[in-house]
Structure 1
């Protein structure tokens, strides 16, 4: 079975050291992580979960690049048949952010942009994102973001789909948007946006199948068959764990294929 994981990261030592990633440090099995995870461990986790292709993202924060675009590109270069790179940028300097995105895509081969709103305390309709949306359209790449409540101890308000992501989809109809983490507890709002806008999609990262909200499962089985992408938020959750109850979704073979790989391959141009 072909599986594409739409939301992963291969963490660096800098990322592992962040206070707001204590849950990730617990997953690693130590309170203080002094070295980065070997890339082979990420590939092994993909193998264990049957993931053929993983989209791994850079992470930029006010503290600086926790996983830089060049590091992501270097990871991809080691496993070009397994990994696809996703860029990130520093929102504080919009023009430099645009230039960095252009470089990451044009020179390093990254295939999308991800910005996590709670990291910056800025919802996606903030003016600092808008030059990036225009550049994503010009480059023909998706914009990936987080919706729903925030796991780390940061504000969840930036993850509300309506009005924040609604404004973006309305003002940038050519922009392909992939909203990760389902949107709970505003799942119905996120489904409404994915239904309303042709280019808005949902990924299931940060949730195991057992924890999918019932309204998302209904949407996935019906008119959302082409709108929902599988994701894990690895290394927080492995694909093996996330998909352990896949049969309980009662999906037909075509919908299963769309959910696990075909939708992501179409959206990201894989």
Structure 2
């Protein structure tokens, strides 16, 4: 049992990538246009569960989940869901939910202050960045004071990488620039903040090989497998997950756009060794998130 009340031994899996998409007062994390585009991209009716409903889904399955929203107010003008609300809801469901925060790097010193406060006062366990939606390049020095704070706080930074369903099919992509989510841009971050634990989210189409190169070269860079059904994973991703990166690849679903049930059913059909499978589903995440000792 961890200090947060989470019984890691009981868990069958830890999903490191789920979204809080609706606030307690019913406000969406995305504008209607971007939300509809995401639903079309994933070919699914886009139901937005509350954080409490998400907790129930994972509790029923003996799984835990990292959950976050995205603060992209500078680029989109759309108000974010409060990080404090996400953290408070996770505290109510601490047996299954792990709070990450999202702070828009364009907020400068205010972003740094907020990040420090969220960890110190709200037990936030990591930070989510979506460079394309937030309209910044990860290697932009504008964001470096925020990375420095996150590195000092000792929590992970998770970066969306590759194409995004947000804005897909909207004229001009809704103003979202895919180039910001090339994982090679995160390589500079890994160099300049060598102890920052980084997660490259998703199979990084069309830059899968770049993501594998960065994760292989930089010791604290990980890859999560969210946002795609495993049956569509590129073969080189499966090969590296099964071998060189077996200790650095993480289960992520992208719930609610992909359910953990669908993801796990398709993952069960992949040619992953019996030794590696539990690492991807649980043990790598437990170590990264500090739920177990590093040498466990």
TM-score by length of 2: 0.83
Alpha-carbon RMSD across the aligned residues, in angstroms, is: 2.0
| Corresponding residue of 2:55 | 43
| Corresponding residue of 2:6 | none
C-alpha contact 1:178 1:201 (8 A) present in aligned 2: yes
Give the distance between the partners of 2:96 and 2:288, measured in 1 at CA: 17
Deviation at residue 120 of structure 1 after TM alignment: 1.8
User: Measured at CA, do residues 39 and 165 of structure 1 come closer, stay the same or move farther in structure 2, by a change above 3 Å?
Assistant: closer
**Partner-residue secondary structure (3-state), 1:190:** helix
C-alpha contact 2:105 2:146 (8 A) present in aligned 1: no
Residue 215 of structure 1 is aligned with which of 225, 233, 236?
236
| Corresponding residue of 1:111 | 125
Where structure 1 has 5 or more consecutive residues not aligned to the other structure, the ranges are none
Give the distance between the partners of 2:281 and 2:197, measured in 1 at CA: 19
Give the distance between the partners of 1:7 and 1:18, measured in 2 at CA: 22
Spell out, residue by residue over 1:79-106, the C-alpha distance to the aligned partner (whole angstroms, 9 max, x if none). 1100000011122221000000011110
Where structure 2 has 5 or more consecutive residues not aligned to the other structure, the ranges are 1-10, 168-175, 292-296
C-alpha contact 1:143 1:176 (8 A) present in aligned 2: yes
User: Measured at CA, do residues 133 and 110 of structure 1 come closer, stay the same or move farther in structure 2, by a change above 3 Å?
Assistant: same
Whether 1:168 aligns to 2:168 is no
Deviation at residue 38 of structure 1 after TM alignment: 3.4
**Partner-residue secondary structure (3-state), 1:11:** coil
User: Measured at CA, do residues 160 and 38 of structure 1 come closer, stay the same or move farther in structure 2, by a change above 3 Å?
Assistant: closer
| Corresponding residue of 1:54 | 65
| Corresponding residue of 1:67 | 81
| Corresponding residue of 1:4 | 14
